[in-house]
Amino acid sequence: MDRDQAPGAARTSFADRHRAARDAVLVSQRGRLIEAMVECVDGKGYSGTTLTDIVASARVSRSTFYEHFANKEECFIEAVHTGVDIVATRIAEELAQLDADADATAKIESIVVTFCRTVATEPDFARLVLVESFKVNQAAVGYRDLAVDRFAELYRLFYDQARQANPALPEVSDELIALIPDAIGERTRRVIVSDGPDRVPDLAPLFIQFVTATLGLAA
């Protein structure tokens, strides 16, 4: 059963938890400028987005913009940072919702499902991080790559926990584990471009199968 549909009022829904995490990041003037950047790039692309577009969408003055960012490029990079941080925060929060004795497979499923659902819930940020960042500059791509490395570290951690519980599991190299989030990220990017972010949650079962098979956890 989906945790959002579980009986009892002690747990809030995925949507409520997501909204709280998002508001905590974007409620300030700086956050409004970042959100405006994301919306404008989604509509016009980075090259077509102007400072006038951003401040108009954020409903602030140019001087306010320059209090927070040196230029459009810096604002874009910070928007990539923010999108990555929203995903990381949501994954951490959903992992915290699991039972204390949850096994590695349950934790991997939580990571994958939360990632896919957050992409669909934040389509503009998803396009910015997974599609537009590659068109703009290396700084944005570098932060996106750091985020992918975070996923690899989580998979490493949970697989090591699984091996402690079941020593018969084979050793898996860091290099192989690092390929898992790379592959998921690339497939997600392609689906965003071809079908839209709202189709990404449909990929969650396939991604889970891929991760567990790669790590020898499928059985």
Topology of the domain comprising 13-214: Tetracycline Repressor; domain 2 (1.10.357)
pLDDT at 6: 42
Q: Is 203:183 a contact under the CB 8 Å cutoff?
A: no
Please report the pLDDT score of residue 67 as a whole number. Answer: 94
Whole-number pLDDT of residue 148: 85
pLDDT given at position 116: 97
Number of C-beta neighbours around residue 39 at 10 A: 19
Q: Give me the residues of the chain with pLDDT under 50, please.
A: 1-10
Cα–Cα separations (whole angstroms), residue 208 to 45, 63, 200, 217: 32, 47, 13, 10
